[in-house]
Amino acid sequence: MLPTVGLVAQWDATVAQLSGDWQEIGARIRFDDAEHARRAAALLGALSPGLSGDELHLRATRRGEPNPSLVRRLLARLDEEGIRGTLDLVESGERAADTSPPASDEAPADSLAAAWDRLTASLPDDWTDLLGLVELRSSDDLAPAALALAPLNPSRHDKSLAFRFRVARQFGYGAAPAMTRRCLERLDEQDTPGSLRLLEVLSDTQPVLTQGPTFVVADRAV
């Protein structure tokens, strides 16, 4: 049974228990069915939540966007519509003293971030939109991966251990390339093994009165 306490109250309690030097957190909201989760994802669209069945995964940063105040305002929309859920803190990042030598900007060759760099370097100069796939090796990594990839609005299809995502280079529907790389870096930081695959890429698209082009995968528009 879902709690009668609203999501705003749960969020306030979650933030209140954080240490004073927290920088970024990840949270999961579980709903009683997938339909409520889809409705909640629409209302929380500004947070780019990750949707997986009856769960939403979202992130907040202490400074920057999305910040805790924005998350709270959007969660109030769910309370107003009577959408109940259980909010859990699943990740908390604190600022730690960095005593290591300066790191190179170049990612390790076997990392997902490095795979993204290689992929984008191989694309034509005028590419504008792409559809990608992150394939995981274990079902245990599905929930943390959905959280790390939340800003990409990842989608999971069938029972495969993979998340599909869209990237828009300049405008339209999809994550920015820099955000995509950062999300893949999060998987590397979590030591989540996986592989990156390009499903489709489009060049020089110019959407008119739309949010972007339509991709076709297995004879289905996505």
* Domain coordinates in residue numbering, the chain: 7-94, 112-206
For CA atoms 39, 40, 41, 44, give the dihedral sign: positive
CATH topology for 112-206 is Alpha-Beta Plaits (3.30.70)
* Residue reference for tokens 């034509």: 124
Predicted confidence band of residue 173 (pLDDT cuts 50, 70, 90): confident
Residue 209 has pLDDT above 70, yes or no: no
Binned at pLDDT 50, 70 and 90, residue 94 comes out as low
* Nearest Cα to Cα of residue 210 among 129, 124, 153, 92: 129
In the chain, count of helices (H) and strands (E)? 6, 9
Token digits for 136? 């995981």
- pLDDT of 152 > 60? The answer is yes
Per-residue pLDDT at 68: 87
**Residue 1, pLDDT score:** 52
Q: Residues of the chain with pLDDT > 90: what percent? A: 37
Return the pLDDT at 100.
43
Confidence category of residue 219, pLDDT binned at 50, 70, 90: very low
- pLDDT of 24 reads 87
CATH class of 7-94: alpha beta
pLDDT at 103 over 50: no
pLDDT of 105-136, one tens digit each? 444 446 899 999 988 888 888 888 898 999 99
Q: What residues contact residue 123 under an 8 Å CB cut-off, 6+ apart?
A: 130, 201
What's residue 164's pLDDT?
93
Residue 144: asked if its preceding bond is cis (omega within 30°), the reply is no
Give the pLDDT confidence score for residue 7 in this predicted structure.
94
Is residue 95's pLDDT more than 50?
Answer: no
Q: How many CA atoms lie within 13 A of 27 on its CB side?
A: 29
pLDDT of 221 reads 52
Which 3 state secondary structure label does DSSP give 34? helix
Q: DSSP letters along 6-26, please? A: -HHHHHHHHHHTS-TTEEEEE
pLDDT in tens, 187-204: 999 999 999 988 888 876
The angle that helices 68-80 and 7-16 make with each other, rounded to 10 degrees, is 150
Q: Is 187 helix (H, G, I), strand (E, B) or coil?
A: helix
Question: Which of 34-38, 45-49, 182-186, 193-197 comes out lowest in average pLDDT?
Answer: 45-49
Cα distance between residue 22 and residue 24, in whole Å = 6
Grouping H, G, I as helix, E, B as strand and the rest as coil, residue 58 is: strand
Q: What is the mean pLDDT of the chain?
A: 82
Per the DSSP assignment, residues forming a β-bridge with 87 are 29
Distance between CA atoms of 21 and 19, rounded to whole angstroms?
6
> What mean pLDDT comes out for the span 25-37?
91
Query: Measured over all CA atoms, what is the biggest interatomic distance in the chain, rounded to whole angstroms?
Result: 53
Q: How confident is the model at residue 44 (pLDDT cuts 50, 70, 90)?
A: confident
Higher pLDDT, 169 or 207: 169
Q: How far apart are CA 32 and CA 19, in angstroms?
A: 31
Q: Count how many Cα atoms sit within 13 Å of the Cα of residue 207 in the half-sphere of its side chain.
A: 16
